Amino acid sequence: MMVYTVSAFYALEPFSAEQRQSWREELLTWNEPHLSGLVILAPDGVNATVGADEKTLARVEDWFRQHLSRSPHFKHSYSAVRPFRRWKVYLRKETVTTGGRLGSSHPETGTHVDAQQWNALLQDPGAVVIDVRNDYEISMGRFPNAIDPGTRSFSDFADFVSPAQLPRDQKILTYCTGGIRCEKAVPYLRSLGYEQVYQLQGGILQYLERFPGKTGTFEGECFVFDDRVALDDQLQPSLTY
């Protein structure tokens, strides 16, 4: 039985229109039979989820390592079903749609913490945990005591921050599926004067690689933007959704 390896990754760095078009044309020439996925090329970077056999996926990841100035963090999961119906490469205005409401992305200003450090921070009784995903994603699973901003779209996150009156003297811990939405949310929070803001490096996907099942604290399942719908705490396709 064919088992697909699914790689989710992103890189935030500026790309010219000519460069994005050139990359798209090259990527669309790839016609390996087991390759499927979605690659978004935008002025602010790359956001992608790719499924393939191990050999093909290694080629995909090597290509991006060679073409990006910073090697992305590749988060892996597995699936017995094809995660996407076809291979898609899109040119878009943003890697993640914000409607320009969250300002520019400056990943270097964020405080990234790995899964083990995240677990330690969760023990701080004064820490405020914010899930920056959308409400339908959060309904499937979350970290304990995480705040649900109640957004249907990530571009609405700015509406949550303003009336929420988050405490400025406490640690704010943010997380999302793979990390890219935190790359937008954390600089925005910092621009409003929040200084102790942390983000889970690699998001839920990388956390579950390190702490699967009951070894970690994530509860429920993780929504993903492909035909698997969600992953359980072993990073296997959901049997529920």
Residues with active-site annotation: 176
Q: Which of 16, 17, 38, 14 is nearest to 27 (CA)?
A: 38
Count of residues in the chain: 241
The region that residue 165 occupies, defined by phi over 0 for left and psi between -120 and 50 for alpha, beta otherwise, is left
Q: Which of 96, 89, 38, 47 lies closest to 68, judged by CA?
A: 47
Q: Of 238, 234, 228, whose CA–CA distance to 210 is shortest?
A: 234
